Amino acid sequence: MAKLYFHYSAMNAGKSTLLLQATYNYRERGMRVALFTAALDDRAGQGRIASRIGLEADAELFAADTDLYAAVASLMESAPLHCVFVDEAQFLTDEQVWQLARVADRLAVPIMCYGLRTDFRGELFPGSKALLALADTLREVRTICRCGRKATMVVRLGADGKVLHEGDQVVIGGEDKYVSLCRRHWEEEMGRVAPEDMVGFLAGE
């Protein structure tokens, strides 16, 4: 039975690398796959998924008004699909997550979604919130904080390199704009910890 998967992490954990590697594995075995990525993220060019280690692939674009069930059903008219991969899944709408769930349930095609869980304010993205609620399988892709602990949060940097405490939820960028941190150091950088509670921070723990 096909399932809806959500692979989530903080920034720069290698989600796109894993997606592209899995895509290669399917295609190497003669299986047909479909790739989707968010139209608003054009860092690699429109309709391209790229990883930091140089892997790239063409992808279909989705915007907020894209019917993903219809899009996948249309692709299946010419030949069977063995898997659908969705990059930048945090930008999906609630309804689009339901559409992908229907693809798994009614068209019997596995759906592999890759995306961020929370934004720089520590709040869930709409797509991630829906995926956490609906996905059959949740898989954390891990990266590390500067202290060596698991990074689960992200901070956004301004033009001056300083951490921003407010702003729009979506600002496209990579390592130039975002840094992944553990929850403890995210609180420090966001000014949510009183000085008297900063025991251990000054020692770099």
Where would I find the H helices in 1-65?
A: 15-28
Short-list 125, 183, 121, CA closest to 156: 121
What is the pLDDT at residue 160?
80
β-bridge pairing 33-38 and 143-144: unpaired
Q: Which residue has the tokens 């405490």?
A: 165
Domains of the chain: 4-142 (3.40.50.300)
- Is 49 in a helix, a strand, or coil? strand
Whether residue 138 contacts residue 159, with contact meaning beta carbons closer than 8 Å, is answered with no
CA angle 72, 75, 78 (to 5 degrees): 150
What is the pLDDT at residue 52?
72
Short-list 22, 9, 182, CA closest to 90: 9
d(CA 144, CA 44): 24
d(CA 62, CA 129): 18
pLDDT digits (tens, 9 = 90+) for 180-193: 899 898 888 887 76
Structure-derived torsion over alpha carbons of residues 195, 198, 202, 205, reported in degrees to the nearest 10: -160
**Any idea which residues carry the catalytic annotation?**
88
* pLDDT above 70 (res 168): no
* pLDDT above 60 (res 121): yes
Q: How far is CA 201 from the centre of its chain?
A: 29
Return the half-sphere exposure (C-beta side, CA atoms, 13 A cut-off) of residue 87: 34
Q: Which residue has the tokens 């915007």?
A: 63
For residue 205 the two structure tokens come to 């723990």
Q: What is the DSSP letter of 124?
A: B
Q: Which residue has the higher pLDDT, 154 or 86?
A: 86
For residue 45, is it left (φ>0), alpha (ψ between -120 and 50) or beta? left
* pLDDT above 50 (res 201): no
What is the pLDDT at residue 130?
97
CA angle 57, 61, 62 (to 5 degrees): 140
